[in-house]
């Protein structure tokens, strides 16, 4: 007899032998015991995880002749069970839907379904790769699938259930198969190697299970190859060479070079692997998995059950996790995921792989945003607390000839560059932290660093100083000459005060009206006029919430009696209440007449 591969030789023949699909087998066994079997099933999931196998076991359980009714576990020895296992049963028809996908084939199936089974209880149709059936063929099957004869059962196996029309899915019971767990694949491989009397290392079986990627059939197929290629005991190195994986420890060496920022070492390692014949796509996939495992080890620990790898691999990812932070590992994983996606459809695969690894090496030079903000806050606090002592150091750090012991934060460099011109902001910062006034010998001692007061005396905050009418008249005249008449009418009745180096005007208008009237040109013109009168640079701030001020005899006559009459007018009051309007300017036409 010719050799039979392990995947066929050890194919499960009972529900209890199926690995990793307990939620499916338990439901089907209970349905058979309760007599609640359906007329249509959809088995979907990853390749090589038991969809067709479970369909055959269910067919054997429904037609098993060891009892006068369906059984929860087929006997495996009766004529019906042996014929179904061999694939030559007359009443269990397996159809490859990838080739028999047209409407003509489905019409033949529909016509044959009307006839009763030749010997068994049910006529069972198993349609493999059912998503390949055309829409027209599915439509031809709708009526039969909805109300089939009592002796017909349909089983549809597919890896893409979303391609099956919803009208078909709603007429069947849908079972979603899961990928087989890593530990279950390793345990099954260990049992099979013991039955085959083959010696294998634990790491070799772990590599086989990892290469299977959740598929029991894939793992068994690779095991067949590994047994054929091994001369004696099956080792991890033999399996690694068979599946084309990178040598043990190379991924760790690459990540160590990345941690050191050594771009040259990274390129040397990649060049050595590619010269040995390794595929860039396969290496990128390995790097993605390695970084994922390192990230999990960093978050949950190297002993976490989330890591489905061998013991040696756990030690390697644990060592790599110690070299990076959680954010760095997440960033590297994102870079390699993008690189792996790009390599698949690019021509120069080596160049894209090298570019992705260089991005990882360069990412080590990035500073976290928290560190930048903390450095900026520390520099600002130090500059406000001791301005004379900090400025020379910043200037020294700013000069290109000064040595740089380490990386300089962009925030710190920007603060150093602006320290020469931010005198007004420094004054405000010093006032906000209540910097004491230091005079004479004490100030000199602080500058030289020889003395510092134990407790600084507090000073009172700056109080607003009311301005004289000269400054106000000049500013208003300059705005009026420039054509800003509405702004003049708003500002001339406001409260003008001088607070430090800032002219603060509180007006009776709202913030919206202020934003509409006070443009950039008008503000620049007002600041220039005020600075010229005071003889020093000042700032301008216009705030809402002020009360109208009397500014002159003519305006007093106009705004005094006129404003009061306008405020008492019922129409004006109704407009103010309904629309939130404000009284800006009062014109008394009786005076004009």
Q: Say how far apart CA 510 and CA 504 lie, in whole Å.
A: 15
Overall pTM surpassing 0.75 (yes/no): no
- Residue-wise pLDDT tens digits, 500-515: 788 888 887 777 777 7
Q: What is the pLDDT of residue 418?
A: 47
- Residue-wise pLDDT tens digits, 186-244: 999 999 999 988 888 888 898 898 888 889 999 999 999 888 887 778 888 888 888 87
Q: What is the pLDDT of residue 368?
A: 67
CATH architecture for residues 465-551: 2-Layer Sandwich (3.30)
Structure-model confidence comparison of residues 224 and 405, the more confident one? 224
| Mean pLDDT value across residues 426-431 | 42
| Strand pairing category for 152-158 and 173-176 | unpaired
Q: In the predicted model, what is the mean pLDDT of the chain?
A: 79
Q: What is the pLDDT of residue 33?
A: 92
Q: What is the pLDDT of residue 159?
A: 92
Q: Say how far apart CA 360 and CA 254 lie, in whole Å.
A: 10
Provide the residue ranges of all domains of the chain, joining segments of one domain with +: 6-176, 182-243, 250-363, 369-398+408-448, 465-551
Mean pLDDT check: name the lowest of 23-37, 54-68, 142-156, 528-542. 528-542
Using a pLDDT cut of 70, give the percent of the chain over it: 78
- Residue-wise pLDDT tens digits, 351-360: 999 999 999 9
Residue 376 has pLDDT above 50, yes or no: yes
* Beta strand ranges found along 453-531 (DSSP E): 465-466, 495-499, 502-507
Please name the residues in contact with 584: beta carbons below 8 A apart, sequence gap of 6 or more.
486, 489, 490, 509, 513
Q: What is the pLDDT of residue 496?
A: 84
Please name the residues in contact with 215: beta carbons below 8 A apart, sequence gap of 6 or more.
46, 47, 48, 49, 179, 180
Q: What's the CATH fold of domain 250-363?
A: Zinc Finger, Delta Prime; domain 3 (1.20.272)
Q: What is the pLDDT of residue 441?
A: 36
Residue 518 has pLDDT above 90, yes or no: no
Q: What is the pLDDT of residue 397?
A: 43
Q: Say how far apart CA 476 and CA 489 lie, in whole Å.
A: 9
Q: Say how far apart CA 220 and CA 5 lie, in whole Å.
A: 8
Q: What is the pLDDT of residue 370?
A: 66
- Residue-wise pLDDT tens digits, 235-264: 888 888 888 778 768 899 999 999 988 899
Residue 52 has pLDDT above 90, yes or no: yes
| Mean pLDDT value across residues 374-398 | 52
Say which CATH superfamily domain 6-176 falls into: P-loop containing nucleotide triphosphate hydrolases (3.40.50.300)
Q: What's the CATH fold of domain 182-243?
A: Helicase, Ruva Protein; domain 3 (1.10.8)
Burial readout 176-200 (b: 16 or more C-beta within 10 A, e: otherwise): ebebbebeebbebbeebbeeeeeeb
């Amino acid at each position: 007899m010719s050799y039979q591969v392990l995947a066929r030789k050890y194919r499960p023949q009972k529900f209890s032998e199926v690995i990793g699909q307990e939620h499916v087998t338990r439901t089907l066994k209970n349905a058979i015991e309760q007599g609640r079997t359906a007329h249509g099933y959809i088995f979907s999931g990853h390749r090589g995880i038991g969809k067709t196998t479970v369909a055959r076991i269910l067919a054997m359980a429904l037609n098993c002749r060891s009892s006068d009714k369906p059984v929860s576990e087929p006997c495996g020895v009766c004529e019906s069970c042996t014929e179904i296992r061999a694939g030559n049963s007359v009443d269990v028809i397996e159809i490859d839907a990838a080739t028999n996908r047209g409407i003509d084939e489905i019409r033949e199936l529909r016509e044959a379904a009307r006839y009763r089974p030749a010997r068994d209880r049910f006529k069972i149709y198993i349609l493999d790769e059912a998503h390949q059936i055309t829409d027209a063929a599915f439509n031809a099957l709708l009526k039969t699938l909805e109300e089939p004869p009592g002796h017909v059962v349909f089983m549809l196996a597919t890896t893409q259930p979303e391609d099956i029309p919803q009208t078909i899915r709603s007429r069947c019971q849908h079972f979603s198969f899961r990928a087989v767990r890593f530990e279950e694949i390793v345990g099954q491989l260990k049992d099979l190697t013991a039955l085959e009397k083959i010696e294998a290392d634990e790491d070799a079986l772990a590599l086989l299970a990892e290469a299977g990627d959740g598929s029991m059939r894939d793992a068994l197929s690779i095991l067949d190859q590994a047994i054929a290629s091994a001369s004696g005991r099956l080792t991890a190195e033999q399996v690694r060479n068979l599946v084309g994986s990178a040598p043990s420890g190379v991924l760790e060496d690459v990540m160590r070079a990345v941690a050191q920022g050594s771009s040259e070492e990274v390129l040397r390692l990649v060049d050595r692997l590619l010269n040995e014949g390794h595929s860039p796509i396969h290496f990128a996939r390995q790097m993605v998995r390695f970084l994922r495992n390192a990230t999990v080890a960093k978050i949950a620990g190297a002993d976490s059950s989330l890591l489905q790898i061998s013991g040696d691999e756990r030690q390697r990812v644990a060592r790599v996790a110690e070299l990076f932070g959680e954010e760095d590992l997440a960033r590297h994983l994102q870079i390699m995921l993008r690189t792996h996606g790009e390599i698949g459809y690019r021509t120069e695969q080596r160049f894209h792989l090298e570019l992705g690894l260089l991005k990882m090496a360069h990412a080590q030079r990035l500073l976290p945003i928290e560190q930048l903000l903390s450095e900026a806050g520390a520099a600002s606090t130090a500059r406000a607390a001791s301005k004379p002592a900090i400025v020379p150091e910043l200037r020294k750090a700013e000069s290109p000839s000064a040595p740089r012991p380490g990386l300089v934060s962009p925030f710190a460099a920007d603060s150093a560059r602006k320290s020469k011109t931010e005198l007004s902001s420094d004054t405000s910062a010093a006032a906000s932290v209540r910097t004491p006034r230091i005079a004479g010998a004490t100030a000199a001692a602080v500058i030289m660093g020889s003395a510092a007061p134990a407790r600084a005396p507090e000073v009172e905050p700056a109080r607003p100083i009311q301005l004289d009418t000269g400054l106000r008249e000049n500013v208003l005249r300059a705005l009026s000459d420039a054509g800003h008449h509405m702004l003049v009418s708003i500002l001339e009745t406001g409260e003008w005060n001088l607070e430090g180096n800032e002219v603060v005007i509180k007006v009776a208008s709202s913030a919206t009206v202020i934003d509409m009237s006070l443009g950039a040109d008008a503000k620049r013109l007002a600041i220039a006029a005020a600075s010229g009168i005071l003889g020093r640079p000042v700032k301008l701030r216009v705030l809402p919430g002020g009360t109208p001020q009397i500014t002159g005899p003519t305006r007093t006559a106009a705004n005094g009696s006129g404003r009061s009459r306008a405020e008492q007018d019922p129409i004006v009051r109704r407009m103010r209440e309904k629309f939130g309007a404000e009284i800006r300017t009062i014109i008394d036409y009786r005076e004009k007449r």
